[in-house]
Amino acid sequence: MILATPFSPMVPTNNNIQTTTHHHHLLHLLNQCSTISQLKQIHAHTLRTTTTVHPHTLFLHTRILHFSSLHDLNYTLRFFNTHIQYPNSFVYNTVIRAFARSSDRKHEAILFYLKMLCDGNVVPDKHTFPFVLKACAYLFALEEGKQLHAQVVKLGFASDVYVNNSLIHLYGSCGSLEDARNVFDEMPERSVVSWNVMIDALVQLNEFDEALVCFREMQESFEADGFAIQSVLRACAGLGALSLGMWVHAYVLKKCSPEVAGDVLVNNYLLDMYCKCGSLETAEFVFERMVKHDVTSWNTMIHGLANHGKVVEALEYFRRMVDEERLMPNSITFSGVLSACRHSGMVDKGRNYFTIMTTHYGIEPVLEHYGCLVDLLARAGLISEALDVVCSMPIKPDVVIWRSILDACSKRTVGIEISEEMAKKIMETEEGSKLSGGYVLLSRVYAAARKWDEVGAVRKLMDDKGVAKEPGCSTIEIDGVAHEFFAGDTSLSRI
């Protein structure tokens, strides 16, 4: 603990040096200090040489709050409590901002805002809201956010661009699209950020078409920047809208700055878009032309190739990543690698990758990894080995895992008892009891065993519980036209 010593109380002395130059000197020192001990020295010096009456002192204290908050929030809080007698809104904002920026104490931004309200001598200003709203957005604190919105209106900041952008962001993060839209529609003035944040809210809530409409509208008043591009690429990926994605790609190359065109993030989204739209050659082309690859670039390619059954290629990307680039794969890398193995039924390789993931790379397997392994084993008919994995794993198995075992059971002659056991496990989980998958699989097992009475019983159980088969739905673009189709839908089969 660096800061064990309590602060000495502020004792104004008669021979203080109270010149502006002196304060400037202290400020200069503060701007240069990078460690807590330096900060403490300057603070001690400040105590000896200044008093609270000087108007510059509060400003100086605010700087101390700000700088200390970058190192130690407890110090900031203690400093606030011990030395600042009459805080103004600037002081409160500084502390709120510090909490909002922190990684694990964001909720204290809201608490400090409350403290500000309770102070009685100070009123929030237009800078206060972006800070505290940011914390709310991160915490999905919709109710608190709405109350803040009311205060914004009450205090007369309802037309401030910054405040409104923060509100849109908040409502977007909390999934409250209507509220986000309302703020966006009502605001008297919009910046690029307003559009970006609105588009991003739509994309995040899977309103891809709406997002694209918004994007087109935006271009009447602003040039799209890197932020907008990323959101739109995500929308294209979600829709499988290849032509628009290619248009965005061209736009990036022609109209955006070299920084945006070369940005790893933007390029990763391009990769993902091409993969999701099924244009893997283009994805590979873009990948090879990127100046820099990060883990995500590699992961995106591995997943994209694996999902399209290009297993050899996917594993080759993994090999290049670790052998040639010496990059550290992460949890997501292995979920791609394992899913590649699963797609091609490579049991030995899959087991092997699973092992090196934990032993060589020290990555803790999560449910996704176990799911892949179990599915791989079950599909290969190694039901008992799959069950061994499920029983020995430290995480509670979910519906997906039980379902992949049951699915494997239904495809071969495995004892009915084991299948029934599996179905029971699926129904026990909350999602499993509401979705049709488990029931359908169980009836398939009975059907395979020609136990028609049981098939009927399962159907009846589904009716009684009101479980409906939910159709799978997807979209694909063919010759520039987007087609939406459902599972079992044969309208596109002639193409």
Residue 134 in the binding site for DNA (CB under 7 A): yes
* Token pair in block for residue 222: 């602003």
Of the listed pieces 107-115, 180-188, 298-306, 429-437, which binds DNA according to CB under 7 A? 298-306
Residue with Cβ nearer DNA (316 or 368): 368
Residue 138 CB, shortest distance to DNA, in Å, is: 4
Which of 108, 179, 200, 407 lies at the binding interface for DNA (CB under 7 A)?
A: 200
Which of 131, 354, 402, 439 lies at the binding interface for DNA (CB under 7 A)?
A: 131
Which of 43, 149, 169, 249 lies at the binding interface for DNA (CB under 7 A)?
A: 169
Q: What is the 3-state secondary structure (H, E, C) of 120-155?
A: CCCCCCCCHHHHHHHHHHHHCCHHHHHHHHHHHHHC
Residue 269 in the binding site for DNA (CB under 7 A): yes
* Token pair in block for residue 449: 């065993």
* Token pair in block for residue 264: 């790893």
Residue 112 in the binding site for DNA (CB under 7 A): no
Q: What is the DSSP string of 369-404?
A: HHHHHHHHHHHTT-HHHHHHHHHH-SS---HHHHHH
Of the listed pieces 28-36, 122-130, 380-388, 441-449, which binds DNA according to CB under 7 A? 122-130
Residues 6+ apart with CB under 8 A from 244: 212, 232, 236
Residue with Cβ nearer DNA (43 or 97): 97
Residue 259 CB, shortest distance to DNA, in Å, is: 9
Restricting to residues 206-235, name those near DNA by CB under 7 A. 225-228, 230, 234
Residue with Cβ nearer DNA (97 or 149): 97
Which of 136, 193, 244, 389 lies at the binding interface for DNA (CB under 7 A)?
A: 193
Size of the site for DNA (CB under 7 A): 55
Residue 268 in the binding site for DNA (CB under 7 A): yes
Residue 419 in the binding site for DNA (CB under 7 A): no
Cross-strand pairs, 10: none
Of the listed pieces 90-98, 308-316, 445-453, 454-462, which binds DNA according to CB under 7 A? 90-98
Q: What is the dihedral of CA 482, 484, 487, 491, to 10 degrees?
A: -80
CA distances from 6 to 57, 65, 72, 75, 82 (A): 21, 16, 14, 10, 9
* Token pair in block for residue 89: 């809104």
Residue 265 in the binding site for DNA (CB under 7 A): yes
Q: What angle do CA 211, 215, 216 make, to 5 degrees?
A: 120
The position carrying tokens 């007369």 is 156
Restricting to residues 379-398, name those near DNA by CB under 7 A. none
Residue 147 CB, shortest distance to DNA, in Å, is: 19
Please give the sequence-ordered ranges of beta strands (E in DSSP) within 236-368, or none if there are none.
none
Residues 6+ apart with CB under 8 A from 372: 335, 338, 339, 341, 342, 350
Residue 50 in the binding site for DNA (CB under 7 A): no
Residue 307 in the binding site for DNA (CB under 7 A): yes
* Alpha-carbon span 96 to 112, nearest angstrom: 6
φ, ψ at 324 (rounded to 5°):
-90, -45
- For the chain, helix, strand, coil in percent to 5 are 70, 0, 30
The position carrying tokens 């915490």 is 139
Residue with Cβ nearer DNA (375 or 477): 375
Restricting to residues 339-368, name those near DNA by CB under 7 A. 339, 366, 368
Residue 59 in the binding site for DNA (CB under 7 A): no
* Alpha-carbon span 65 to 319, nearest angstrom: 49
Residues that bind DNA (CB under 7 A): 89-90, 93-94, 97, 125-127, 130-131, 134, 137-138, 160-163, 165-166, 169, 173, 191-194, 196-197, 200, 225-228, 230, 234, 263-265, 268-269, 272, 294-296, 299-300, 303, 307, 330-332, 335-336, 339, 366, 368
